[in-house]
Amino acid sequence: MNMVRSSIRKYQNTSLSQVENADPHTLISLIMQHILGNLAAAKGAIERKDIEVRNKTLNKVIGLIGELQDSLDMEKGGELSSNLYDLYAYMISQVSKSNMKNITEPLTEVASLITEIKAGWDGIPEDIRQQYNR
């Protein structure tokens, strides 16, 4: 439960100035952070049986995962981009399943996947990031 509250706090603390001044690498990280915050909020809504909040937050999650898909460079990224695209499509299907069945288990899986991807993404060394921000 503390992990959920931590994700919600991080999500709520993201300010507009962070987005406006962010480089492309940081923007992707912020999108992932927002996904985690919305997943946590959706899980809480499901537990409280708050259908309106559940629908709203899960629709945001689907849109944000779609943004991750759209950010992939399929030409330069090759097989890695293709695999990520398919993984994001799977996540969208899991979020939809959660919304239709009003269950949290698929959201837990998606949160775990996003957390793992985000850790790898955030672990990219600064010098490598700068090569792609030019």
Q: What gap in Å lies between CA 117 and CA 114, rounded to an integer?
A: 5
Question: Could you tell me if residue 132 is inside a domain?
Answer: no
In a domain, 80, yes or no: yes
The predicted pLDDT at position 24 comes to: 83
Residue 119, burial from CB neighbour count under 10 angstroms (0-12, 13-18, 19+): exposed
Specify the amino acid at residue 88: Y
pLDDT digit string (tens) for the chain, length 134 residues: 555 555 555 545 555 556 566 788 889 999 999 999 999 999 999 999 999 999 999 999 999 999 999 999 999 999 999 999 999 999 999 999 999 999 999 999 999 999 999 999 999 898 887 776 65
How many domains, in total, are found in the chain?
Answer: 1
- Domain presence at residue 88: yes
pLDDT at position 21 is: 66
Task: State the Cα–Cα distance between residues 27 and 50, nearest whole angstrom.
Answer: 30
pLDDT given at position 13: 56
Domain that holds residue 71: 2-11+23-123
Q: What CATH number does residue 43 fall under? A: 1.20.120.340
134 lies in a domain? no
Q: What is the structure's pLDDT at 2?
A: 52
Say if 37 falls within a structural domain.
yes
Amino acid 127: pLDDT = 84
Residue 48 tokens read as 């409280």
Handedness of CA 115, 29, 60, 3 (dihedral sign): positive
